[in-house]
Amino acid sequence: MINRYLTTAIPYVNGVPHIGHAMDYCLADVCARYYKLLGDNVRVQAGTDEHGGKIFQKARELNIPVQEYVDSNAKKFQDFIAKLNVSYTDFVRTSDPDHEKRVQEIWKKLSSHIYLEKYEGWYCTGCERFITQKEYDENGGVCPDHQKPYEKLEEENYYFRISDFKDKIREAIESGEMLILPDFRKKEIMKLLDESPDVSVSRPKSQLKWGITVPDDESQTMYVWLDALSNYITVLGYPDNDISDWWPATAQFVGKDILRFHAIIWPAMLLGLGLPLPKTIVSHGMVLANGQKMSKSIGNVVDPLEVIECYGVDAFRYFFLRKVDTFADADFTWEKFEESYNNELANDFGNLVQRLSTMMSKNHVALGDVSIELPEEYKALMDKFEFSMAFDYAWSLVQDINKRIDDEKPWALAKAGEGEKLEECLQNLAGSLMIANLMLEPFLPNATAKVKEVFEAEQVAPPVQPLFPKH
Ligand code: MSP
């Protein structure tokens, strides 16, 4: 059996989950369910990123002790993941003492690549990122994502010598040893890698207290990204445990906005630790709301729980996994969502199940012995993490079955008393539906489980409740 380790980015807990946060979870979950269908062993990590200036400032603003604040928001993310019908095997909170201790060990192991130097430059707390002078100039001193002027920092920091690893990272990306998906992001990363200076990996405690203390230097707090990136292996028990059964990860799911950290700093850390690089980094696009970045100040943040409560989790997953191209930016509007729910989910799939099961029930036809296997074309797409395309492929079979019903007119066979032909026709159609259903299992776990129940019963009976109920 193959072991597969899948990871998701750990969100900052300076707010509640929004629809964009769902992407990593949904993609990793589809992948995990697919590997399980193939019979592989799967481990999925999730977690919360709880340190850094952004979270500290937010807790201050709200006048809540910071630990209390992160505790309550971490819980909201855990609840959110459960609502998405996403399961994970390991959950890490970066304020866990185990994680903190392990990150300090990691720092010590990297210490020959770390040096102390004065940092004079810019920082964006929203991005939790040191900003180069070039970027500062290009953006006129204001962060385009957070609309806030970059902060000027003049402090003594530890630096991580990325230059020690640049050649190896470049080679790993070029050779596909560490595959970056989609392919078009590779060029951007290569350019960033070439330009990437050594990264500052600490802040003076006088400037930032909320984080992990640098080993043997009480005056410094570790940079939140060094702390956060380590989660992918601390959660497996590194360095206390041998993690070679699970590491390197089969795939790490991240948004395109944080690909740079995962394709440059993270591989440099792994190389410094003598660990292999992840096999694939899958970077998805951004979800916008009505064409705009979601932001509390614009007031266009879409609450994912509202969508799920109203339309159900499968409808949510349908939209974000099929209507949203796995690798591209996408726009959420209630109109688009409603349209895809009515015209596709309920019409194409819901009605097909209803129609076919009703005919089978009326004519006392059971599924019979059919061989149900995943088509090679589908597997090829899933293996390349082309999930929305694989979903399309499965859906085209659903549409094809609908068309076949219209063409083959089983009701006419029934009327003409052609019992044998009718049975054969319905069983063929149901067999195809079971193949489509199997392909859809990773995407729509609830509905597909119900469909299986309906068609695998000795006496087929149409579902009592609609497959995709709306509340
Ligand atoms: N804490 C870091 C990740 C550390 S991983 C070692 C972080 N947190 S985040 O909360 O800003 O983002 C968490 C994940 O959600 C990232 O993969 C990010 O790309 C994704 N998204 C956040 N907003 C998003 C959209 N609007 N659309 C799609 N994904 C988005 O970055």
In order of 2, 91, 166, the CA distances from 229 in angstroms are 25, 14, 18
Answer yes or no: 425 catalytic. Answer: no
In a domain, 314, yes or no: no
Residue 71 lies in a domain: no
- The pLDDT value recorded for residue 370 is 86
- Candidates 76, 83, 109, 127; catalytic one: 127
Domain count, the chain: 1
Which residues, given as ranges, of the chain have pLDDT below 70? 296-297
pLDDT for 301 equals 86
Enter the tokens of residue 415: 């009327």
Residue 347 lies in a domain: yes
Residue 441 lies in a domain: yes
Tens digit of each residue's pLDDT (9 = 90 or more) over 171-203: 999 999 999 999 999 999 999 999 999 999 999
Report long-range pairs for 120-125 (Cβ below 8 Å, ≥24 apart): 120/153, 120/154, 121/152, 121/153, 122/150, 122/151, 122/152, 122/153, 123/150, 123/151, 123/153, 124/148, 124/150, 124/151, 125/52, 125/53, 125/54, 125/57, 125/151
Cβ(205)–Cβ(221) below 8 Å: yes
The catalytically annotated residue of 256, 293, 336, 421 is 293
Say if 420 falls within a structural domain: yes
Residue 357 in domain: yes
Q: Domain range holding 434? A: 333-455
| Within-domain flag for 387 | yes
Cα 424 to middle of ligand 1, angstroms: 50
Residue nearest to atom 29 of ligand 1 (CA): 20
pLDDT at position 297 is: 65
How far is 179 from 168, CA to CA, in rounded Å? 14
CATH of the domain at 399: 1.10.730.10
DSSP character string of 269-326: HHHHHT-PPPSEEEEE--EEETTB---TTTT----HHHHHHHH-HHHHHHIIIIIS-T
Q: Is residue 237 part of a domain?
A: no
Pocket of ligand 1 (CB under 6 A): 9-12, 20-21, 23-24, 49, 228-229, 231, 254-255, 257-258, 286-287, 294
Q: What is the pLDDT of residue 296?
A: 67
